[in-house]
Structures are given as C-alpha cells and as structure tokens.
C-alpha cells in the first residue's frame, strides 16, 4: 500500500521503517522539517514527497508526532480531502481525539497508541494499540514486523485510553524519580538515595542519570501530560495529579 507518514520523529520514523520492511511504499513531507527528521526518514527508507502528492495519492496516513501537533496535522490532511485510512497514533485526550476525527469527515479514522520502545527487534515488544471499525485492517499493515498490533476496541478512544493509562503510570513514576533525585541533591544525600537501588521496589531510582536524560524528551512529555490531565478529568478521576507532574517536564524543558 501507499502510505504517508507525519512526522518521522524517534517513534514515527521507526513505525514507518517497519512499514517499509512489510513491503509498503512510505512517503513523508520534508518541507520545513529539521535535519534530524531528514536523516531519520532517509535511514528508514522513506520517500520525500510534496504534501499535496503525498496525501493525494496515499491509501493510508499515519500521524505519529508530538501530541501538540496532532490536531493540526489532521486538519491539514482533512482539508486536502483525504478519504482513506487515517491512523491517529498520538496520546490524545477524548476532546483532542474528537477534534482530529471531526477534521477528517471523508476518512476512515483509527485511533492508535504506542507502548514500548521504537520497534527495532529488541527484547521488549512495541505494542501498537488500535481501536475503530478498521482497526484489524490497520493491524495487518505491520504483519511480520517488529511491531505487535493489539486491537483493543471497536470505537476510537479505546486505544488512546490504553496508551494513556500506561503512559501516566510509566512516565509519572519517572517524574517522581526526578523529584526524588532533586530533593536528595538539595540536601546532599544523593548517595544515600542511590544506595536504595538494591531494593526490588526502587524502580526508576536505579538510574541516577535519569533527570539529565529526560531533559531531551521533556518538551514532548509535557504536552502529553496536558492530554493525560484532560483524559483523567473526562473519566471523573484526579486530573490534577497529571497537572502537578506536568510541572516537572515544564522545568526540565527549560
């Protein structure tokens, strides 16, 4: 199949690379993108194509980008009259997901969420959660690749909820670890904290380099926690918990 991908970041480029492995013709739009994006796209075997041609000839559009750009991408693709399969692979709140779907009235909309590392055939699986009437069709696109599709519901929203639930736990504990390391550093007791890494429940505290490492992704994780807060609110849960942890990513991104 002919597929267009927006935009090949660390995860999106690897999802696209696995589509190339599966034998699909995968295009992307290099206009206005960074040198890093160009390098990732070339390494993944993607074909650089102008926007109108990429969308106009695509049977499938995959949107895997930072969550703050997802609705804009959907609107651009919808305005171009796209009427194929649209795979929204960003961790969005119900409100943002609805806005993306409304922007694509002619398309078949599939909600998706990625759990795990970029798919490169490593020991940890990359699960692609999928929901919507065409979820099974989308799952087939990655047949025989390092991506493990999981159909989790018949309606859009289920895949985002599954992704959001895991992301809140996994990235939330990372934010707590950052605060723990910083608190220990303020009081000069980092060594005492790191000594607890031998305990089975130490989790993210086993990596004292975590705060510095997470500065590279804080710009993206912050908006993800905005979406998580709205998702928790929508479910009648404590969205303020996500808003509080969002402040960690705001500070690290600065």
Say if residue 110 is in the same domain as residue 134: yes
Say if residue 90 is in the same domain as residue 209: no
Say if residue 132 is in the same domain as residue 211: no
What confidence tier does 97 reach under pLDDT thresholds 50, 70, 90? very high
Say if residue 23 is in the same domain as residue 119: yes
Single out the residue in 138, 155, 172 at which a domain terminates: 155
The pLDDT of residue 180 is above 90: yes
At residue 91, the pLDDT reads 86
Say if residue 7 is in the same domain as residue 72: yes
Q: Give per-residue pLDDT as tens, 200-220.
A: 999 899 899 999 999 999 999
Say if residue 9 is in the same domain as residue 94: yes
Question: Which residue's entry shows tokens 């295009």?
Answer: 27
At residue 17, the pLDDT reads 98
Mean pLDDT rounded to a whole number for the chain:
96
The pLDDT of residue 53 is above 90: yes
Of 134, 168, 164, 165, whose CA–CA distance to 151 is shortest?
Answer: 134
Single out the residue in 121, 155, 189 at which a domain terminates: 155
Give the phi and the psi of residue 22 in degrees, each rounded to 5.
-75, -5
Say if residue 142 is in the same domain as residue 233: no
Q: Give per-residue pLDDT as tens, 220-252.
A: 999 999 999 999 999 999 999 999 999 999 999
- Pull the structure tokens for residue 166: 């895991």
Average pLDDT for residues 23-37, to the nearest whole number?
A: 95
> Which has the higher per-residue pLDDT, 162 or 66?
162
Say if residue 147 is in the same domain as residue 26: yes
The pLDDT of residue 141 is above 90: yes
Give the phi and the psi of residue 104 in degrees, each rounded to 5.
-125, 60
**What is the domain extent for residue 121?**
2-155
Asked if residue 164 lies in contact with residue 183, where contact means CB atoms within 8 angstroms, the answer is: no
pTM of the complete model: 0.94
Say if residue 18 is in the same domain as residue 139: yes
User: Which 3-state string (H, E, C) describes the chain?
Assistant: CEEEEECCCHHHHHHHHHHHHCCCEEEECCCCCCHHHHHHHHHHCCEECCHHHHHHCCCEEEECCCHHHHHHHHHHHHHCCCCCEEEECCCCCHHHHHHHHHCCCCCEEEEEEEECCCCCCCCCCEEEEEECCCHHHHHHHCCCCCEEEEEEECCCCHHHHHHHHHHHHHHHHHHHHHHHHHHHHHCCCHHHHHHHHHCCCCHHHHCCCHHHHHCCCHHHHHHHHHHHHHHHHHCCCCHHHHHHHHHHHHHHHC
Say if residue 140 is in the same domain as residue 172: no
CATH for 146: 3.40.50.720
At residue 121, the pLDDT reads 85
What confidence tier does 58 reach under pLDDT thresholds 50, 70, 90? very high
User: How many domains, the chain?
Assistant: 2
What distance in Å separates the CA atoms of residue 48 and residue 42, rounded to the nearest whole number? 9
The pLDDT of residue 145 is above 90: yes
Single out the residue in 133, 155, 177 at which a domain terminates: 155
At residue 122, the pLDDT reads 86
Average pLDDT for residues 46-68, to the nearest whole number?
A: 97
Say if residue 166 is in the same domain as residue 219: yes
Say if residue 8 is in the same domain as residue 126: yes
């Amino acid at each position: 199949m002919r597929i267009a991908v927006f935009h090949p970041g660390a995860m999106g480029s690897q999802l696209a690379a696995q589509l190339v492995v599966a034998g699909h013709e995968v295009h992307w739009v290099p206009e206005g993108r960074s040198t890093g994006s160009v390098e990732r796209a070339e390494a993944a075997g993607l074909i650089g194509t102008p926007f109108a041609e990429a969308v106009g000839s695509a049977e499938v559009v995959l949107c895997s980008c930072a969550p703050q750009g997802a609705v804009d991408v959907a609107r651009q693709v919808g305005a171009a009259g796209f009427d194929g399969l649209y795979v929204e692979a960003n961790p969005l709140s119900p409100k943002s997901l609805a806005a993306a779907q409304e922007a694509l009235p002619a398309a078949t909309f599939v909600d998706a969420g990625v759990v795990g590392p970029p798919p490169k055939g490593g020991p940890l699986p990359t699960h692609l959660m999928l929901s919507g009437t065409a979820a099974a069709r989308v799952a087939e696109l990655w047949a025989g690749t390092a991506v493990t599709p999981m159909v989790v519901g018949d309606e859009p929203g289920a895949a985002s909820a599954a992704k959001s639930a895991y992301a809140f736990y996994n990235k939330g504990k990372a934010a707590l670890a950052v605060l723990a390391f910083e608190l220990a550093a303020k009081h000069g007791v980092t060594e005492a904290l790191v000594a607890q890494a031998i305990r089975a429940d130490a989790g993210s505290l086993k990596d004292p380099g975590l705060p510095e490492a997470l500065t590279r992704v804080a710009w993206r994780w912050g908006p993800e926690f905005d979406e998580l807060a709205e998702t928790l609110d929508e479910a009648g849960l404590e969205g303020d918990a996500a808003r509080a942890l969002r402040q960690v990513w705001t500070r690290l991104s600065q």
